[in-house]
Amino acid sequence: MPTRSGANGTRHELEHLRRMNAIDPADRPPMNQEEYDAEYGSTSTSNKGVLRRIGRSLQNSYCYPFTGVRPFVDTVLGFVPILAWLPKYSFREDLMSDVVGGFTTGIMHVPQGIAYSALAGVDPVYGLYASCFPAFFYMFFGTSRHASIGSFAVVALMAGVANDRVMSTQAGGIIEFNGNSTHFEVSEYHAVTPIQVATTLTFAIGIWQDSPQVYAAFITFLFMHIPYHSSVLSAPKAIPGAAVHVLLAQIDDLMGVHVPKVSGPGYIFVRLRDLAVRVPEVNVATLVISLIAMTFLYIGKEYFSPFVTRKFNFKLPIPYELILVATTAALSTLLGWPEFYAVEMVGNIPAGIPRPQLPTFSILGDCLVQSIGVAIVIIAVHISMAKMLGKKFNYPVDDNQELYAIGFTSLLGGCFPVYPVSTALGRTMVNVKSGTKTQVIAFTTVFVSNSRQADMSLSRPKTTNGVGIAVSERFRDSISEVKRFSDRLMKVMVITKNERLHFFTAYSPHTGCSEQVKEEFWTLLHGKTAEIPQKEMIVVAGDLNGHVGARKDGYNCHGGFGYAARNENGERILEYACSHDLVITNTTFRKRPSHLITFYSGNARSQSDYVLVRRRGAMSVSDAKVVPHEMVATQHRPLICTMKFTPPKQMRVERCGHERIKWWRLKEKEAEVIGGIRMPPIVDVDGTWHYKAARSQLGVTKPGRRMIDRQAWFWTEEVKEKVRAKKRLYNVLLCNKTAASWSAYREATRAAKKAVAIAKGAHYDELSTIFSCTLLMAIILFFGPYLRDLPKCILASIITVALKSMFTKCGELKRIYPVSKVDFAIWVVSFACTAFIDVMEGLAISIVFALFTVIWRSQWSKWQYFYRSTETKKDDEKPVADSSDVCVFRFDGPLLFTNVERFKSSLRQTINAWSDMWASKALKIPVVDGEDLKRPHSLYEEDTPHFLVIDCSAIAYCDYMAACAMNEIAKEFKTRGGILYVAGPLREALQASGFFAKVGKENLFPTLKDAIAIASRNG
């Protein structure tokens, strides 16, 4: 993992380039390369130290982390970014946005995960797992704050194809043998399931993605040349072609027919034939449900959501998919769609968290072969999306770290029953629109209950009674002690301004429990209450499962305004309150019955929840009543007791600046202040003025009271400088309110905000995935079985509508064609091969064709020539040369062995055309019957020298064969009486090939303008 770069060998080269760029050729006389080097210095770009520099770079990258504790910590923090930014996470600014975005994205995960599981060839529950676990793992390693990792249609389809191929090679199982070379015995037979293959495929994809950086760089090169074009996302053009296969796979579920599964190149035509044959067998009910579902999704997303956003400024996305899933699942159960209309259902979705397990290593070899194409597509889609989001929101995205992140996500996800996942465009855009700021949205729910809680474990769900206390943020720092005595009793001690408050929350055993359980609870409560000193405050709240009655009947702890009759458990409550001098607050205020009843069960109504406080603090209670229209748990209504006590005064722990001189007072009484200043004979501005005159006349601020910038802890020096520049320009604006000063201040403000955003993004990277994962976990644990009656056609409808964004990319062809015919051809070939052959084969063909076009374009580079150098003039200058004695040749592209013959051929064509022009002009060839009289001619028939200038500014590099071709051209042109000039950065290659021995080093020029100017002067 790279940690720092050691580019010491190029420092002098960069300094030389900086000096060259700072010198305008118009500001100096024309000169050749030798004169330029003598005047401004030169640098060598020899490759003798290439291996040494590579070794130093590898040493800095891989040995630097082990040179000390600090380098090791920095490397670990760079490899696991969450360790760096999580301790500095801004809960006040980012938490609410992440919670909203997490729930919104998690809602989209549910139907998409279930729907795309069919494409991957696994059961629906594994789609929920695939949406949860990989996203959670990515949060620890990724640097993109908005990318939504989870199910993606094309990746799921490719995983399904690879799954089928691996299953076919294994013939449905694995046989293990024992024995020697002459005798074998079958020891065990293992049936390979589709989810085992999918898990191993995910693990294999992680291996490819987390291979050494050399391979990662090669993969990056490949996906950068996979055909792509989009105004929103640079993704492979093979994706729209793969979307055709996704759509075709949904038609049988949309129609309610069963089509045999086929595969292989060109299988799409066989599947279309099978679908056409089975049109008479269509299930009308399934087809109607599918059409209604797709219409609902399309109208909602395309028309209703924009209307609501425009009319009511409602920015949160509406979860149409989840609404559709919940509604149709309920209707299917109520109306009996499977029984009466033969609508096919999803089936059972088990509840609970799966156990981690290692992938099936016996099929890992086959999975490695089948997963290469899937890994390439995942990398292409994910990094392209991450970089686009980072550019849009001004935060850095590390390409290498993203490769590691997506790779480790697949490796760790391969230890759970999931299928391969990637970044999804639709969910990511929802993530952005929801206001998500970090990846915290993956962990969005905190369960705090004062009645019954669920205790979840990996092995099996287990429920038990439990209590909890939720404390306001204001009193968080006032909590000094938290104790849990049992599942039914706990205590929190809060220190207020004048005393200590002990808050007990209790859940008493109900009537059906044994007497022993009840005695144990009340004995524990009596004992813990008795431990509290008399001078300290006690508050006991909870469900005590007893009726204290409507009247006092001699109990001074009863206020006389209770409800219903008293029972045995109510007697225990009254005895407990009297023995510890407590008052039952919700019996001391006259209320209507609905404000006293805390428990409803059919026609039964009772008062079983109470709040008890110590008598000496009863005056602090201003109200206690039940909210009848709310329900916090089954059959229970919330009881709210209002108490007044003051938390201790908090010391302001804030970083403050030092004292400052009150310079602003100069505006109020400038003349008086300046007149009162007496300067000593020795004037020291920093000493005398600052510490004596200014302080005595203006005064100083008090240190420790002034707030400095709150989040300046993450500011770099660049950020601080831009903020200071903004403040300086603001002071200028106050003194001189002109349009220029206002414009300068506005630009400085924008620059400062952008710099602060970038600096903040470097620390607050990603925490948003936690909340959506928690929502998915709740569905996995509790709500999965309720989706067993969900029709499969609903999932197919969701997938079909989601493919719309992929097919709309085909409309970009009309914009690609005028710009680049080659890109247009790449797009068409990639789409056709992927759609009509197969996904894997089409992807391979598209990559090969794209690489072929790169080689073809480098071999057939463009070239041009002109006789007058008007191309080099500025707008306010005359042409540098106006003579046909100078010809300029330009070759656009690298000069390699692949195109060296084209280079020589184009140069010869230029020389011949130039010679023809010069001969017809100089020799005045007569014209007879509209045709030139051909006669031999050459350049040396005239006394005036002729100069051929080769413009090498567009030649990025050249190899040995190209340098030899340059020698050959120079020799050939010299025999024709011409002089060859070379302008551009090819000095090292030409010198190594012996070019200057034939041409002369004085014929090399730093710029084209120098060469033309000197050629015109010598001509």
Q: Give CA–CA dist 813/819, Å, rounded.
A: 10
Q: Give CA–CA dist 489/153, Å, rounded.
A: 50
427 and 501, same domain (yes or no)? no
**Cβ atoms of 171 and 146 closer than 8 Å:** no
For residue 109, name the pLDDT band (cuts at 50, 70, 90).
confident
Q: Give CA–CA dist 185/195, Å, rounded.
A: 28
Distances (CA, A) of 629 to 66, 597, 626, 632: 64, 11, 9, 10
The verdict on residue 465 lying in a domain is no
Q: What residues have CB less than 8 Å from 316, skipping those under 6 apart?
A: 100, 104, 433, 434
739 and 775, same domain (yes or no)? no
The verdict on residue 428 lying in a domain is yes
Range of the domain at 908: 862-1018
61 and 123, same domain (yes or no)? no
> How would you label 682-702 residue by residue, b for 16+ Cβ within 10 Å and e otherwise?
eeeeeebeeeebbeebbeeee
751 and 787, same domain (yes or no)? no
C-alpha count within 13 angstroms, C-beta hemisphere, residue 803: 25
Distances (CA, A) of 143 to 74, 109, 399: 16, 21, 9
Q: Flag whether pLDDT at 404 surpasses 60.
A: yes
C-alpha gyration radius of the chain: 40
Q: Flag whether pLDDT at 798 surpasses 50.
A: yes
Parallel/antiparallel/unpaired status of strands 946-951 and 886-892 = parallel
What is the reported pLDDT for 4?
36
Q: Flag whether pLDDT at 362 surpasses 80.
A: yes
Domain CATH number, residue 607: 3.60.10.10
The verdict on residue 461 lying in a domain is no
What is the reported pLDDT for 123?
85
Partners of 928 in the beta sheet? 931
629 and 718, same domain (yes or no)? no
298-319 pLDDT, tens digit each:
999 888 988 887 888 776 678 7
What is the reported pLDDT for 220?
45
| Position with higher pLDDT, 434 vs 407 | 407
The verdict on residue 857 lying in a domain is no
For residue 614, name the pLDDT band (cuts at 50, 70, 90).
very high
Q: Give CA–CA dist 108/739, Å, rounded.
A: 49
| Position with higher pLDDT, 23 vs 246 | 246
Q: Give CA–CA dist 214/154, Å, rounded.
A: 27
Q: Give CA–CA dist 388/234, Å, rounded.
A: 8
What is the reported pLDDT for 285?
92
CA-nearest of 599, 632, 612 to 452 is: 632
Q: Flag whether pLDDT at 670 surpasses 60.
A: no
pTM of the model: 0.55
937-988 pLDDT, tens digit each:
444 444 456 788 888 877 877 777 877 888 888 888 777 778 888 887 777 7
Partners of 611 in the beta sheet? 541
Q: Which of 763, 784, 810 is the last residue of a domain?
A: 763
Dihedral over Cα of 672, 676, 679, 684: its sign: negative
Distances (CA, A) of 757 to 81, 90, 432, 439: 18, 14, 16, 17
Q: By three-state DSSP, how is residue 134 classified?
A: helix
Q: Flag whether pLDDT at 333 surpasses 70.
A: yes
**Which residue do the tokens 């499962």 mark?**
545
C-alpha count within 13 angstroms, C-beta hemisphere, residue 318: 19
CA 402 to chain centre: 9
Kind and range of the H or E run holding 178:
strand 173-179
Domain CATH number, residue 926: 3.30.750.24
CA 697 to chain centre: 56
247 and 147, same domain (yes or no)? yes
Q: Give CA–CA dist 845/834, Å, rounded.
A: 8
The verdict on residue 455 lying in a domain is no
DSSP state letter for 693 = I
222 and 368, same domain (yes or no)? yes
Q: Give CA–CA dist 952/984, Å, rounded.
A: 5
Q: Give CA–CA dist 144/437, Å, rounded.
A: 10
| Average pLDDT of the segment spanning 565-578 | 89
Partners of 661 in the beta sheet? 700
Q: Where are the beta strands (DSSP E) in 180-316?
A: 184-191
336-361 pLDDT, tens digit each:
898 888 888 887 777 777 888 888 88
Q: Give CA–CA dist 416/206, Å, rounded.
A: 13
423 and 538, same domain (yes or no)? no
Q: Is 63 exposed, middle or buried (0-12, 13-18, 19+ CB in 10 A)?
A: exposed
Phi, psi for residue 3 in degrees, rounded to 5: -120, -35
Q: Flag whether pLDDT at 584 surpasses 90.
A: yes
For residue 707, name the pLDDT band (cuts at 50, 70, 90).
very low
**Cβ atoms of 555 and 578 closer than 8 Å:** yes
DSSP percent split of the chain into helix, strand, coil, nearest 5 = 55, 15, 30
Q: Flag whether pLDDT at 52 surpasses 80.
A: no
The verdict on residue 180 lying in a domain is no
915 and 990, same domain (yes or no)? yes
853-912 pLDDT, tens digit each:
877 877 777 888 876 534 444 333 333 344 567 888 888 878 878 788 888 888 888 888
| Position with higher pLDDT, 648 vs 285 | 285
C-alpha count within 13 angstroms, C-beta hemisphere, residue 663: 6
Q: What residues have CB less than 8 Å from 829, skipping those under 6 apart?
A: 227, 845, 846, 849
Tokens of 628: 């009848």
**Cβ atoms of 881 and 1015 closer than 8 Å:** yes
**Cβ atoms of 127 and 784 closer than 8 Å:** no
Q: Which of 836, 854, 885 is the last residue of a domain?
A: 836
164-181 pLDDT, tens digit each:
888 887 754 554 444 443
What is the reported pLDDT for 230?
36
| Position with higher pLDDT, 779 vs 831 | 831
**Sequential DSSP letters for 741-788:** HHHHHHHHHHHHHHHHHHHHHHHS---BHHHHHHHHHHIIIIIGGGGT
670 and 632, same domain (yes or no)? no
The verdict on residue 456 lying in a domain is no
912-932 pLDDT, tens digit each:
877 777 665 544 334 333 344
63-93 pLDDT, tens digit each:
777 777 777 777 777 778 777 777 777 676 6
Q: Give CA–CA dist 845/151, Å, rounded.
A: 25
What is the reported pLDDT for 315?
66
Distances (CA, A) of 423 to 148, 420, 439, 504: 5, 11, 13, 47
CA-nearest of 324, 392, 316 to 112 is: 324
CA 989 to chain centre: 44
Output the average pLDDT for the chain. 74
The verdict on residue 469 lying in a domain is no
402 and 272, same domain (yes or no)? yes
Q: Which of 763, 791, 811 is the last residue of a domain?
A: 763
Number of domains present in the structure of the chain? 5
Q: By three-state DSSP, how is residue 176 classified?
A: strand
Three-state secondary structure readout of 544-587:
CCCCECCCCCCCCCCCCCCCCCECHHHHHHHHHHHHCCEEEHHH
776 and 758, same domain (yes or no)? no
